[in-house]
Amino acid sequence: MSTREGRVAGKKVLVTGAARGMGRSHAVRLAEEGADLILVDICATPEGLEYPLSSEKDLHETARLVTELGRTAVARVVDVRDEAALKQAVAEGVSELGGLNAAVANAGVLTVGTWDNITTEQWRLVLDVNLIGAWHTCATALPYLLEQGGGSLVNISSAAGIKGNPLHIPYTASKYGIVGMSKALANELGAQSVRVNTVHPTGVATGMAPPSLATVFGEKRPDLVPLFMNALPEPMIEAVDVSNAVLYLVSDESRYVTGLEFKVDAGVTIR
């Protein structure tokens, strides 16, 4: 395809959690519209999660899909909890691509349980990855964005980060935390033309599927199931629906959009 015609033609974008699921979809959608990518993912499963995360093979597949579209992908195995490793990987990516215009803090994990089953270890894991990892992503990207005279940070929250979804309280807290962090950054760096927005998807069928989710809802709190029902007549949306929001927020089409909580939620939060 002609790169000059893409909606993000020539932009260089960091995507975390890029090996599979929505991270892969964001990378591919951005590449379709002319972006080059720095792709990072842990490619391993931390202790304390009840579902597997990605593999290196997954990350390489995302990179392959990007290059198949004629764009450049720099892929690195990095845990977003490790700020030094992230900085090193992004420095390498930036030197290969020649700059950075945007970052998508997408890496995230989910633990499930009623309030009386949550452990301190779950709190630490979920906040470490989802909130501090998103902070590391922003903080790592920012010096490069400022070098270019500004840029766009897109931080992936959730409908949970608007609605207060139950039965995964650390996850919900992390997703509210992302909103607070993003709005504060949007205020602090608006004068330097850095835009910071959050995206709030409803359910998407990905690998983020802890087996206990159905049992906790079905057996322990079926009364809470309606809280997760979309207003529009689809139980789940597709990853590309969320990627289209990310694409808009990375592109200059949203040049005066900052501090936005962009819901792609089929109306679940109006319920």
Ligand X SMILES: NC(=O)c1ccc[n+]([C@@H]2O[C@H](COP(=O)([O-])OP(=O)(O)OC[C@H]3O[C@@H](n4cnc5c(N)ncnc54)[C@H](O)[C@@H]3O)[C@@H](O)[C@H]2O)c1
Residues that bind ligand X (CB under 6 A): 16-17, 19-23, 41-42, 53-54, 79-81, 106-109, 129, 133, 156, 158, 201, 203-204, 206-208
CA-based nearest residue to 186, from 151, 156, 134: 151
Which one is catalytic: 51, 171, 248, 256? Answer: 171
Nearer to ligand X, 6 or 122 (CB): 122
| 134, 155 contact by CB (below 8 A) | yes
d(CA 172, CA 183) in angstroms, rounded, equals 17
| Paired residues of 16 in beta bridges | 40
Which pair of tokens denotes residue 205? 């069928």
Task: Tell the smallest beta-carbon distance from residue 29 to ligand X (Å).
Answer: 13
Task: Tell the smallest beta-carbon distance from residue 193 to ligand X (Å).
Answer: 26
Task: Tell the smallest beta-carbon distance from residue 93 to ligand X (Å).
Answer: 14
Task: Tell the smallest beta-carbon distance from residue 250 to ligand X (Å).
Answer: 16
Which residue type, as a one-letter code, is found at position 36? Answer: D
Which pair of tokens denotes residue 247? 């694409």
| Paired residues of 261 in beta bridges | 198
Task: Tell the smallest beta-carbon distance from residue 55 to ligand X (Å).
Answer: 8
| 126, 109 contact by CB (below 8 A) | yes
Nearer to ligand X, 6 or 203 (CB): 203
Beta strand segments in 42-193, E: 73-77, 102-105, 151-156
H or E segment to which residue 135 belongs: helix 133-147
Nearer to ligand X, 42 or 153 (CB): 42
Nearer to ligand X, 6 or 106 (CB): 106
Residue 219, C-beta contacts closer than 8 angstroms, at least 6 positions apart: none
Q: What are phi and psi of 98, to 5 degrees?
A: 90, 30
Q: What are phi and psi of 213, to 5 degrees?
A: -55, -50
171 noted as active-site residue = yes
| Paired residues of 154 in beta bridges | 104, 197
Nearer to ligand X, 6 or 243 (CB): 243
Compute the half-sphere exposure of residue 243: CA atoms within 13 Å on the CB side of its CA: 21
d(CA 58, CA 42) in angstroms, rounded, equals 11
Nearer to ligand X, 6 or 42 (CB): 42
Task: Tell the smallest beta-carbon distance from residue 270 to ligand X (Å).
Answer: 16
Which residue type, as a one-letter code, is found at position 40? Answer: V
- What positions carry a catalytic annotation? 171
